[in-house]
Amino acid sequence: MNHSKKWSKKAISMALVAAMVGTSVMPTFAASTDPNASAKREATNAAISQKAATQGMVLLENNNNSLPIAQTKGTKVALFGVGSYKTIKGGTGSGDVYLKDGANITVEQGFEDAGYDVVNQDFLTAQNTAYEKAESEAGGGGMFSSFVYKEEAYAEADVTAAAGKTDTAIYVLARNSGEGADRKAEKGDYYLTDNEAANLKLLGQKFKNVVVVLNTGGIVDTNFFNGKGGYAANDSLNRSKIEGLDSLVLMSQAGMNGGRALVQILNGEVNPSGKLTDTWAVDYNDYPSSAAFSWNDAVHKDGETTEESNAANTAATAEEVYNDDIYVGYRFFDTFGKKVAYEFGYGESYTDFDIKVKTVKADAENVSVVAEVKNTGKVTGKEVVEVYFSAPEGSLDKPYQELAAYQKVEVKAGETKEVTLSFDTDEMASYDENNEQYVLEDGTYKIRVGNSSRNTVEAADIKLDKDVVTEKAENALGMTKDKMQTGTYTADHVVAEGGAYKMNILDEKSTGYGTGITPTAEGLSAAKASLSLAASSFGKTETHAYTDGKVTSYISEDKDSDSNVYSKNADLDKETKKTVKAAKDATLVDVVNGKLTMEELVANMSSTELADLVEGGTYDGLSAGSSSSAVIGSQADSVYGAAGETTSNLYNSRYIPNIVLSDGPAGIRITKEYIQYELVGADATFDANQTYYTGTYSWSGMNYTEKAIANETEFKKLLADGEKLYTTDNTKYYQYCTAMPIGTLLAQAWDPAVIEEVGRAVGTEMLEYGVTSWLAPGMNIHRNPLCGRNFEYYSEDPLISGEAAASETKGVQTKADGTYSGIGVTLKHFAFNNQEQQRMGSNSVVSERAAREIYLKGFEIGVEEAQPDYIMSSYNMVNGYPTFENYGLLTTMLRDEWGFEGFVMTDWYSISRVNGANKGKNVQGLLMWAGNDCEMPGGNVKNMLTALNTDKTLRLGDLQKSAVNMLNVIAKSAVFENMLDKLATSDDAVTAAEAKQAKAILTKNKAQKVLDDLGYESKEDAAVKAQIAAAEKAKAEAEAAAKAAKAEADAAKAAKAEADAAKAEAASANAKLEKNAFKAKKAAVKKVTGKRKAAVVKVKKVKGADGYQVQYSKKANFKSAKKANTKKLNVTLKRLSKGSKYYVRVRAYKTINGQKVYTKYSAKKTVKVK
């Protein structure tokens, strides 16, 4: 019998305490044995998921007003396509969510639930059966499987029969992708299969109204629908237009209630309002990155072997030159005047809107636009007002336009609403690589307002008289466009054989640059404003204090501390040493209570403790604390099926709890149902009636296999040999989570409030199950449609990406009242993880400007607007160096420029594949130096200590810095507060009082943060001030209790010390008498017998002696004598000289009060050795 389940110890039941004083305690963490325990929350969050899905679905075309369909119950529809009966809720890999059976609502079920009559259910059942058979034959759908069934050609009779019952056919095209592999520009993925094309053609012929729904996580070719490429009927990639297709809807991958959400869109219960966050090209090859993306540039030959094919793919994906530079998505298509299928920001509605720009104002601080949105149609709807700017070309080339602001507004039919949008003026600056600065170049800036990137009206010209440097920076990544084009960079920035080479990078010299577009202005109007700005009106240039590799190592005054020992031996570059007070047994609670600083705490922690903390857990028993159970980072044991957690070894010794990390970003990916297995203790006794199991780790969890054990002897031997055995009572536990829409769909809502609501819903589940870090949101730019994980990410545009991430971060990290929730998000993958093929170690070669303006801008917005608790570095390299050892990325930009305050972790097992200049080296020191604070899933404590103590490649200050970054986050976490709640019930009065004091301090800090950081306009907010006052009172009471308890403990300690001193004095006096009495006793040698090169000595017993020391020598004065100790009354002296005379004597000894006391030596005897 083989069980494949995720192992954990019993989850600790931890209470979530409300942020404000006086509120009630929330339910405890952990899975339930009742499958219905979370039913209410499941329903609430499923509704949030469904709502978000409706807001992000995009109506691409609605010819002949074929939509919406009737809402009347009993309306007949015919469903076709894999996505109708096997609707894809989201992509695969770590971005998946494990739902309980039946929770993923398909399109077919959605129609049935809404009361529609699906006329071809027998057909769908047969198709579903064929799907499941094909999936089984393909090996099933594992964690990384992106299997999608390729339907056979439909029998004309089946289609004709359905068409005889209804005139409406809905075809749902399904595509999937996921972690570890990129998509392909081939039939069955980016293009229709031959059978799909034939089936759609048949539907177009048979049905009056054909709606095509795209159940895809990314872009697919749409020429089959719109014919914009003008491809011939026999096109080999099925790009020719299929007649008879009426409407096209981008359903995307809409989460667990996607089927229901789609029905709401198709029947008009919800008016579609989603907008594209990517440009959909007419031809895939129009994307400037297409030729060399992933394995597209692999050189294959006819008849090659599998090995040869793999080698070609590996070579093609090892290095990705970002040849498109800043011209990604609409920035390219609009600048180079390329025709598109559907432009960025585009989406239709069942109503019409007019947008009238009323005013545009600008100063050195911001640009603001006021516009009226009028609903000119017959139904309520939502429109997105989009503001773009076009910067003048100066010494720097510029894209045609860039998104600057947007706002979604709901307007009832016939009504008008006014909206105000604004953005910082310096957001129009460009990065000048040669001068390492952001600059607003002089000239005219155009402000465009519309509802898509190609339907805009010029609303204002803003003339700037002189260049303005808005921010001074540093080129942190080693590459500029000029260096890439001329090949004048050091060879370590590339992995290609032959070293540096010239790269073809898009710029103002490229063919087509400056062609531009002529936008439509349908429904738009503006009285164009002419404005001017003086360079002299701008404030001082923003500057940064760069760390520049400097670090402080904190040295404890405790001479026995590891930091003190380190200070005597280390002399590393740019390291300052600072001595701090000794605090050997200090804890994280002490830091919160103000007894010492975080730096003083880490100075007094051992090197092993610090290494254990930053390594995410230990595999090899290097436990620094007194935890009864070490945690293995890759198999989190507090939340069943989580991705990992930090060490629990410091829980008892330093009051540093472990935090659990769970995959995202479409919800929480943890095991939905499991049976608990318990580790058998080393002193357990054999039970013949018990079934025992062994367990082995795998990527997806623990695999348990039954172990036959014959008897107690075999059982004890297995345990003695280190075999880990498990038992179970077969109780099933349940932890059901919500599958939210994918990141791209959420961004397509263009509505921060919707995304924040999703984040808050995810946060409720994190708190419910005990997850502290959600490994989401995904932030990488959609550089190319074929990236396998584009579904996790938001957009080709950094503003959309950044604002979406900030909204989701706020949702998770704050409660509805604005207080910190104690849980956090992890922005990932930082950075340039824009392909999945060979993602571990591939080299992304990118210019500093493209990095700052495109690929890092979204991360910057997310950090500066929402301050996420965590960031995850990516697997790939950037310009020849892995992101996780890249100081410029992780410190210069992230911390020195953006002000990130959380901690950075690696992606899982990143260190297993280090490429570039440091390949094959112990890179633990580089991790900490660069600013990668935590390695996940851990297990490299020995390497970390080797780097610190032996290789001298790790500065103590870097290790301490990373520990401080982690502890600052842990100290404000919900799991830390729950630990405080447990400590508050301690029998030790001081421990309990100090825990209560720390809890009160954290509560007060949270309330104050609402006023300081989260947008309250006035510090006179009475409710919040009352909460702070209550928290201050609780803090004072707890502090007084702690002092009283400590005073009482100190008095008791002093009394005990006095008693102990008296006892010690008496013991010393008694010991002295006993020593004198023992010394007075006489020892004697009873007999010595000579043997062959030996002698046997018998001694007289001395009462009370612990043993005897025999001294022997060839000289009567015992010069150069040797000694032999024995606890017996005889001893054999060996290796004596043959025929020699020896003198022998003895004395007795006894250990009294820890000191060995001897009698005088006895009289000597002689012996002749034979």
Domain ranges (residues) in the chain: 2-13+671-734, 66-270, 294-322, 330-537, 551-670+735-983, 992-1077, 1081-1168
- Interhelix angle for 857-866 vs 798-813, to 10°? 30
- Residue percentage of the chain with pLDDT more than 70: 92
Question: Comparing C-alpha atoms, which of 598, 512, 595, 610 is closest to residue 561?
Answer: 610
Specify the residue for token string 């043997």.
Answer: 1091
Q: Which pLDDT value is given to residue 529?
A: 97
Q: What is the Cα–Cα distance from 65 to 797, expressed in whole angstroms?
A: 31
Question: Comparing C-alpha atoms, which of 235, 84, 236, 226 is closest to residue 151?
Answer: 84
Helix, strand, coil % over all residues of the chain, rounded to 5: 30, 25, 45
Same fold yes or no, 330-537 and 1081-1168: yes
pLDDT-derived band at 1119 (thresholds 50, 70, 90) equals confident
Q: Which pLDDT value is given to residue 23?
A: 27
Question: Largest alpha-carbon pair distance within the chain?
Answer: 128
- Residue percentage of the chain with pLDDT more than 90: 75
Q: Which pLDDT value is given to residue 1024?
A: 56
Q: Which pLDDT value is given to residue 617?
A: 59
CATH 3.40.50.1700 at 66-270, yes or no:
yes
Burial class (CB in 10 A: 0-12, 13-18, 19+), 395: exposed
Q: Residue 472's beta-bridge partner residues?
A: 437
Q: What is the Cα–Cα distance from 167 to 340, expressed in whole angstroms?
A: 31
Higher-pLDDT residue of 230, 29: 230
Q: Which pLDDT value is given to residue 1031?
A: 65
For residue 27, pLDDT beyond 50: no
Q: Which pLDDT value is given to residue 1060?
A: 81
Question: Average pLDDT over the chain, rounded to whole?
Answer: 90
Q: Please give the structure tokens belonging to residue 890.
A: 């992780």
Q: Please give the C-alpha separations between residue 418 and each of 359, 410, 474, 749, 1139, in angstroms, as whole numbers.
A: 11, 11, 42, 20, 120
Q: Please state whether the peptide bond connecting residue 392 to the residue before it is cis, i.e. omega within 30 degrees of 0.
A: no
Q: What is the Cα–Cα distance from 937 to 698, expressed in whole angstroms?
A: 13
For residue 255, pLDDT beyond 90: yes
Could you tell me the sign of the dihedral formed by the alpha carbons of 86, 87, 89, 94, in that order? Answer: positive
Under CATH, to which class is 330-537 assigned?
mainly beta
Could you tell me the sign of the dihedral formed by the alpha carbons of 384, 390, 391, 396, in that order? Answer: positive
Q: Which pLDDT value is given to residue 141?
A: 60
Q: Residue 1158's beta-bridge partner residues?
A: 1149
Other C-beta atoms within 10 Å of 567: how many?
19
CA of residue 632 relative to chain centroid, distance: 17
Give the up-direction half-sphere exposure of residue 17: CA atoms within 13 A in the CB hemisphere. Answer: 21
Q: Residue 1096's beta-bridge partner residues?
A: 1089, 1132
Question: Comparing C-alpha atoms, which of 690, 665, 695 is closest to residue 677?
Answer: 695
Q: Please give the structure tokens belonging to residue 106.
A: 């398909």
CATH superfamily to which 551-670+735-983 belongs: Glycoside hydrolase, family 3, N-terminal domain (3.20.20.300)
Q: Please give the C-alpha separations between residue 13 and each of 30, 161, 650, 668, in angstroms, as whole numbers.
A: 6, 58, 19, 19
Other C-beta atoms within 10 Å of 1053: how many?
11
For residue 625, pLDDT beyond 60: no
For residue 971, pLDDT beyond 80: yes
Quick one: CA torsion of 106, 107, 110, 116, rounded to 10 degrees? -140
Query: What average pLDDT score do residues 1133-1153 get?
Result: 92
Amino acid found at 1092: R
For residue 35, pLDDT beyond 70: yes
Residues 6+ apart with CB under 8 A from 547: 891, 892, 895, 896
Other C-beta atoms within 10 Å of 235: how many?
16
Q: Which pLDDT value is given to residue 649?
A: 87
pLDDT digits (tens, 9 = 90+) for 1023-1058: 656 666 676 677 677 778 777 877 877 887 787 788
Higher-pLDDT residue of 682, 175: 175
pLDDT digits (tens, 9 = 90+) for 203-216: 999 999 999 999 99
Buried-exposed string 145-163: b where 16+ CB fall within 10 A, e elsewhere: bbbbbebeebeeebbebbb
CATH 3.40.605.10 at 1081-1168, yes or no:
no
pLDDT digits (tens, 9 = 90+) for 863-878: 999 999 999 999 999 9
pLDDT digits (tens, 9 = 90+) for 160-196: 999 999 999 999 999 999 998 999 999 999 999 999 9
Considering only 384-388, 485-489, 601-605, 720-724, which range has the smallest mean pLDDT? 720-724
Higher-pLDDT residue of 904, 818: 904
For residue 202, pLDDT beyond 80: yes
Question: Comparing C-alpha atoms, which of 662, 647, 738, 1141 is closest to residue 935?
Answer: 647
pLDDT digits (tens, 9 = 90+) for 95-146: 889 999 999 999 999 999 999 999 999 999 999 999 988 888 887 665 556 6
Q: What is the Cα–Cα distance from 59 to 67, expressed in whole angstroms?
A: 10
For residue 68, pLDDT beyond 50: yes
For residue 569, pLDDT beyond 80: no
